[in-house]
Amino acid sequence: MGLPDAKSLLQRVQTFSRAQILQEFHFRCQALAANDNRGFKTEFEELNEVGKDLPTRAGESEANREKNRYPYILPYDHCRVRLSVQNTNPHTDYINANFVPGGGSERDFICTQGPLHNTMADFWRMVWEQNVSVIVMVTALRHKDMVLCDKYWPLERGTVYQGLIQVTTVTVKQGPDYFITTINLRQRDCPTDRTITHYYYHSWPDRGVPKESTSLWAFTEHVRHHLEAIPRLGPCVVHCSAGVGRSGTFVTLLWLMQLCARGIQPDIRAAVEDLRLHRMWMVQNLEQYIFVHQCLLQWLSGGTGRTSAGPQIQGAGAKMTHPSQDQPHSSSGRGERTGRSRQHRHRQKPPADPPQNTIQQILHPGNLLRRLLPSSSLLNPGSNTS
């Protein structure tokens, strides 16, 4: 007798009410936070080796080195975003970006570094070729004299040209802790244009966490509702400076919100492990790892309950400023770039063979996280908690 298919298995998965998920997650966070966050530390340390032997040959090649913001934050070869080849030059397909899972497939998101001056045209070419309609930027442009991300779009109404793509800022709206910009894209010799929504959450400190968990989960919730309300024609682009720490934290939180909203118990460790198999060092440090738990717990409680995931972590946040002022908010001048420099000097082992499509693999938490979400018809409609 053959194995049941994935869909029939997923139909049997039990779903829970928001109150049940909150109660279980509350107890789990309390257990992880006991004895000076010992559980959090253990889980995070267990993730240190995940993905570190996956090859990054394209990013290491001499022709592409100047396209990397940080020399040791490179995209894995097996899931890197490939651009169209220009002028028969094979190296023109490179950009420091990876497809990562996050709700419905292996390619729900693209996590990438903040564009450099010499990669801005490539960035917009990626947005065009991948049919992206939403960009989420979770970094300031500068910290003191250090550029964290080059200004790749007009901050106010106006037009710039990036390669063959015309980038026009149409409107800019201010949210509580972020800016929402509507951008019009037009490619030369193409009769149609496209609309991009650009979210700019700039008060998140480099290598740290926002000062208040409410700020991040409310922002993430806003983006989640937007993504669920529009046709998913292409992946959502998420970037910070290196595209690993803050980007990974945001994607993890959004992913788990989607999961909980459909009545599925969250597994943050499994989500981070899965992300790290697609881009190195996603959710870069313990502070960010704990902060995901805090944000999710507060979101589940409706924003009114006290965070029970250990002591409140204080990030180096600051008051809202207009993005044109380029005000920095950083807890470390080292930035996200240094996280795995030693670990990634030597990587020769090839990636492991893809897992067999067995019942055990289908029900692995990392697989369930995204396989349960593409169609709400797979879930108990009475358990939807969104």
Closest to 80 measured CA to CA, from 108, 121, 110: 110
Kindly report which listed range (124-128, 290-294, 300-304, 322-326) carries the lowest average pLDDT score.
Answer: 322-326
pLDDT band at residue 12 using 50, 70 and 90 as cut-offs: low
The answer to whether position 87 is within a domain reads yes
For residue 273, pLDDT over 70 is answered with: yes
**pLDDT, tens digit (0-9, with 9 covering 90-100), for 302-323:** 975 444 344 443 333 333 343 4
Find which of 131-145, 331-345, 361-375 is predicted with most confidence, using mean pLDDT.
131-145
Q: Which amino acid is at 90?
A: P
Residue keyed to tokens 């930035």? 335
Q: What is the mean pLDDT of the segment spanning 55-74? A: 98
Residue keyed to tokens 């807890």? 331
What pLDDT does residue 11 have? 61
Q: What is the mean pLDDT of the segment spanning 77-95? A: 96
Q: Token pair for residue 58?
A: 């394209």
The answer to whether position 338 is within a domain reads yes
What is the residue-averaged pLDDT of the chain? 82
For residue 225, pLDDT over 50 is answered with: yes
Kindly report which listed range (80-84, 121-125, 156-160, 359-363) carries the lowest average pLDDT score.
Answer: 359-363
- Domain of 51, CATH number, reads 3.90.190.10
CB 100 within 8 A of CB 275: yes
The answer to whether position 379 is within a domain reads no
Q: What is the mean pLDDT of the segment spanning 45-66? A: 97
The answer to whether position 361 is within a domain reads no
Q: How far is CA 308 from CA 72, 108, 305, 333, in A?
A: 35, 30, 9, 30
The answer to whether position 161 is within a domain reads yes
Active-site hit among 79, 149, 240, 260: 240
pLDDT band at residue 41 using 50, 70 and 90 as cut-offs: very high
The answer to whether position 92 is within a domain reads yes
The answer to whether position 358 is within a domain reads no
Find which of 57-71, 201-215, 335-349, 353-367 is predicted with most confidence, using mean pLDDT.
57-71
Burial 276-301 (b: 16+ CB within 10 A, else e): bbbbbbbbbbebbbbbbbbbbbbbbb
For residue 126, pLDDT over 70 is answered with: yes
pLDDT band at residue 206 using 50, 70 and 90 as cut-offs: confident
Residue 51: domain span: 43-343
149 is catalytic: no
For residue 100, pLDDT over 70 is answered with: yes
**Domain count of the fold of the chain:** 1
Q: What is the mean pLDDT of the segment spanning 35-53? A: 97
The answer to whether position 201 is within a domain reads yes
Burial 332-351 (b: 16+ CB within 10 A, else e): eeebbbbbbeebbeebeeee
Q: How far is it, in rounded angstroms, from Cα 144 to Cα 42?
A: 35
